[in-house]
């Protein structure tokens, strides 16, 4: 969260974040987040990095960037950026390919810059590094009159189909299969762009949602291990038929209190767990009902305090983007 900034309030942001954030975003766009909350989140991120390192996992972190600096394109300007804390939003890693996402939030237009040195290093070591076409993000990329109550029913979203846009976090990987959702930041053109650029052994499946604020699939549809799927039944309409043989369980109600301020997400972001292996799962320490369910399901639960990070729109899966895993690449469906 070092150098993070409050994003500008616009159609794309409004579609995804709690309405209670509007006053703060409008008043302080481009300025640092409230210091107490940002520093608490940074401390949790540092502790989590230390936890992973102690378990023998190689952790690399982005370069520092001052997101409070204003910037512009020939078409629009922004009083600042957002942050470099959520690489899963930005980078889609599939096999030896790393794809930079054409994100729909204008505040995130140059977010990949913080990872440029790391990506160059991966490329030198053999990775295929590509970037989706950087979108123009003109006004016609957005639909100010989108259906704010049931966009999934009316096929009405904050983003239009004039150019490909997608956040990497609207895709979740499971072996040679990827599951993707149409959301307020990911359009059908974006999903099609990804599908065309993947190697032939990969298949993209669409997950139908019933979420009025769809943004990022990894807090509603979470493949945990071969044959095991964690689901938010309030957000997912139907599980793809290729998973009919899987054990599907619904996540319990989140433990986040009603008076806990979440700037950029719903309380269900606690579902955003991280699998270290097919049996080890990292869970936010206060999500005890979820931890108990996962323990009963046969997982080794590793609780880590992360609620302050959750304020800013992500949890363990969001703040990581694994580039190398042990094991065989195969289909699990």
- In the chain, the N- to C-terminal Cα span, in Å, equals 37
Active site residue 67: no
Catalytic choice (16, 174, 315, 318): 318
Catalytic choice (16, 174, 184, 216): 216
Catalytic choice (89, 143, 167, 218): 167
Contact 268, 232 (CB under 8 A): yes
Contact 37, 25 (CB under 8 A): no
51 phi/psi in degrees, rounded to 5 = -60, -45
Residues 7 and 313: their CA atoms lie apart, in Å, by: 12
- Residue identified by tokens 């190697």 is 199
Contact 3, 84 (CB under 8 A): yes
**Within 10 A of 3 (CB to CB), how many other CB atoms are there?**
18
How far CA 3 is from CA of 33, 57, 308, in Å, comes to 9, 26, 16
Residues 47 and 49: their CA atoms lie apart, in Å, by: 5
Residues 216 and 45: their CA atoms lie apart, in Å, by: 20
Nearest to 90 by CA among 65, 126, 68, 53: 65
Active site residue 318: yes
| Cα Dmax for the chain | 55
Q: What is the CA radius of gyration of the chain?
A: 19
Residues 66 and 129: their CA atoms lie apart, in Å, by: 24
- Which residues face 280 on adjacent strands? 300
User: Active-site residue numbers?
Assistant: 167, 216, 318
């Amino acid at each position: 969260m070092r150098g993070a900034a409050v994003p500008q309030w616009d159609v794309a942001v409004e579609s995804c974040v709690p309405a209670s954030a509007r006053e703060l975003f409008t008043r302080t766009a481009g300025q640092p987040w409230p210091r107490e909350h940002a520093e608490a989140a940074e401390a949790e991120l540092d502790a989590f990095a230390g936890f992973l390192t102690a378990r023998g996992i190689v952790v690399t972190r982005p370069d520092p960037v001052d997101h409070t600096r204003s910037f512009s394109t020939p078409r629009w300007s922004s009083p600042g950026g957002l942050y470099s804390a959520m690489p899963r939003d930005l980078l889609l890693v599939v096999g030896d390919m790393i794809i930079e996402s054409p994100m729909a939030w204008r505040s995130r237009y140059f977010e990949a810059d913080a990872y440029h040195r790391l990506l160059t290093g991966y490329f030198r070591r053999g990775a295929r590094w590509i970037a989706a076409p950087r979108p123009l993000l003109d006004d016609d990329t957005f639909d100010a009159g989108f259906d704010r109550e049931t966009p999934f029913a009316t096929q009405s979203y904050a983003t239009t189909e004039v150019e490909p846009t997608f956040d990497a976090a609207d895709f979740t990987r499971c072996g040679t299969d990827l599951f993707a959702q149409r959301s307020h930041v990911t359009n059908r053109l974006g999903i099609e762009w990804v599908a065309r650029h993947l190697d032939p052994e990969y298949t993209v499946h669409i997950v139908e949602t019933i979420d009025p604020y769809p943004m990022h699939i990894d807090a509603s549809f979470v493949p945990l291990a071969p044959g095991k799927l964690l689901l938010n039944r309030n957000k997912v309409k139907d599980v793809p038929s290729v998973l009919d043989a899987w054990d599907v369980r619904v996540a319990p109600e989140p433990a986040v209190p009603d008076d806990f301020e979440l700037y950029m997400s719903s309380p269900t972001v606690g579902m955003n767990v991280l699998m270290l292996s097919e049996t080890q799962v990292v869970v936010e320490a206060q999500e005890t009902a979820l931890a108990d369910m996962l323990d009963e399901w046969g997982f080794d639960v590793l609780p880590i305090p992360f609620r302050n990070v959750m304020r800013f729109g992500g949890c363990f899966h969001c703040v990581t983007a694994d580039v190398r895993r042990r094991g065989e690449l195969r289909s699990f469906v």
